[in-house]
Amino acid sequence: MSRRVVITGMGTVNPLAHDVEGTWRALLECKSGISKTELFDASTFPSTFSAQVKDFDLSRHVDNAERHATAGRHCGFAIAAAVQAWKQAGLADCDRLDAERLGLYLGSGEGSLDFDNFTSLLVDAWSENQVDTREWAELALDRMDLWREIEQDSNMVVAHLAAEFGVRGPAFNVLTACAASTQAMGEAAMQIRYGDAEVIITGGAHSMIHPYGVTGFNRLTALSTRNDEIESSSRPFDLTRDGFVLGEGASVLILEDYDFAVARGADIFAEIIGFGSSADAFRITDQDPAGDGAADSMRAALEDAGLEPADIDYVSAHGTGTQQNDQVETKAIKQVFGDLAYKVPVSSAKSMLGHLIAAAGATELITCVLALRDQVLPPTTNYHTPDPVCDLDYVPNEPRQAKLDIVMSNSFGFGGQNDTLIITHPS
C-alpha cells in the first residue's frame, strides 16, 4: 500500500536569512540577498558579486560545533538547517521514533577547495618551468590537512547529519546539479511511500562561491555580469536578463509517513502528492530548446498525483535568469498547460535569493509551503521589460494574494536533469 507523505519540519540558511520565517519576510518585502563578493577577491572576475550567506556561526545552532570543525562551509549550513527542521517537527522529544526507520536523503554538492594552500604548494614545488611532482607530493603530505581533503566529497554532509541525528535507516546523497535537492526530496518521499522509512531528513546544501566555481560558470557565460547593478542583477524572465547569480546555502525538510505523524501529534504543514523526473538526453550543459524534458517532468508529477494541469494554482519556477533556461521553461509550461499557461501564476525566488545550486529546490519548496499557508505568491523581482518569448504571468515585483490549494515546484539541472514536485494542504 502506498503511504501518504507529509512535511512536518523546515529549516534554512540562505543569503536572505538563517531561518524560515526571516526568509519568508524578506521574500515578501522583495529584499535582495545579492552583494559584492566577499568570500574571495573577485574584483578581476567578470562577475564581482554573488548571493552569500553572511555572519553565519554554527555554534549558534548546535552545542557541539567543534565536532564538525573539518566540515565544509555548506555542511555547516546543512547542520543548522536540519537542527531547525528537527526542532520544528518535534522529533527531539519523540520516543516513538526508531533510528532504523529514520532516513536521510540529501542533494548536496562538493565542498570548496583550499585554494590558498593549493597555490602555495604549486609555487613552492615549481622547478625549471614545471612542477616537480616528487617535491609536490612531499609538500602535500606535510602540509595538507587530510580530514579537510576528505571533507570535499559530496557525501560528507550526509555523514555529518547521520552522526548528528543518529540516523540508522537508508542514507543517500545525490548530486544532479541544480535539480539535486528536488530529486532528493522526491526520492525521499518515494522511500516513505514504499515503507522503507517513517521519517526522512531531506533537502540540499551547496557553496560554490570560490574561484573555481565562479570561473567555471563565467566560462560557460552562465553568470550575470551586471556589476553596476548588483542588487537587481538577477532578472528571471525579463528581456534584459544576462545570467544567474551564484548563491549558497542549505534547506532541510522533515518528511514523514502521514499515519506516523498523526499518531505522534505532529503539526503537518503540507503533503507531497506528486513527483516527476526526466532527462533531456540533449547536451551536457544546454537544455533541450524545445522544452520536452522539462515538460515530461511536469507531466510525470501530474500523473503521479492523479491531477490535471487545471488543478495547479501556482508554479514555482526554476527561473534562473539565463536567456535559455527562462525561454525553455516557458515553452515547457505552455506544452503542459496549453491555454491555461496564461492563467496560472509563475514566479522565481532566485530573483532575490540567487541560485543556490544543489540547495535551490529545497529552499524553493519551503517557499511553496509558506505560500500555501499564507495564501500569498512570492514575486519575481527585477521584472521590468517583458520578453515576447517569455509571456506568462510571472507575478512581477510584488507579492500577490491568491487562493492556493495545489502548487508545483520545478528544478532543472545542467546535464538535462529535470525534477518536479507537487504539494497541497494537509487534510
Which is it for strands 5-13 and 270-279: parallel, antiparallel or unpaired? antiparallel
What is d(CA 381, CA 31) in angstroms, rounded to the nearest whole number?
Answer: 9
Question: 178, 210, 368, 390: which is the annotated catalytic residue?
Answer: 178
Query: Residues 68, 74, 206, 318: which is the catalytic one?
Result: 318
Q: Please compute Rg for the chain using Cα positions.
A: 21
Q: Which of 18, 68, 210, 355 is catalytic?
A: 355
Residue 10 φ/ψ region, left for φ over 0, alpha for ψ in the -120 to 50 degree band, beta for the rest: beta
Output the CA torsion sign for 83, 88, 91, 93.
positive
Note whether 52 and 38 are within 8 A (CB): yes
355 is catalytic: yes
CA-based nearest residue to 24, from 373, 409, 347, 426: 373
Beta bridge partners of 127: 130
Q: For residue 256, give Cα distances in angstroms to 8, 122, 162, 171, 301.
A: 7, 49, 17, 15, 19
Cβ–Cβ under 8 Å, residues 393 and 344: yes
* 294 contacts 28 by C-beta, under 8 angstroms: no
| Catalytic center residues | 178, 318, 355
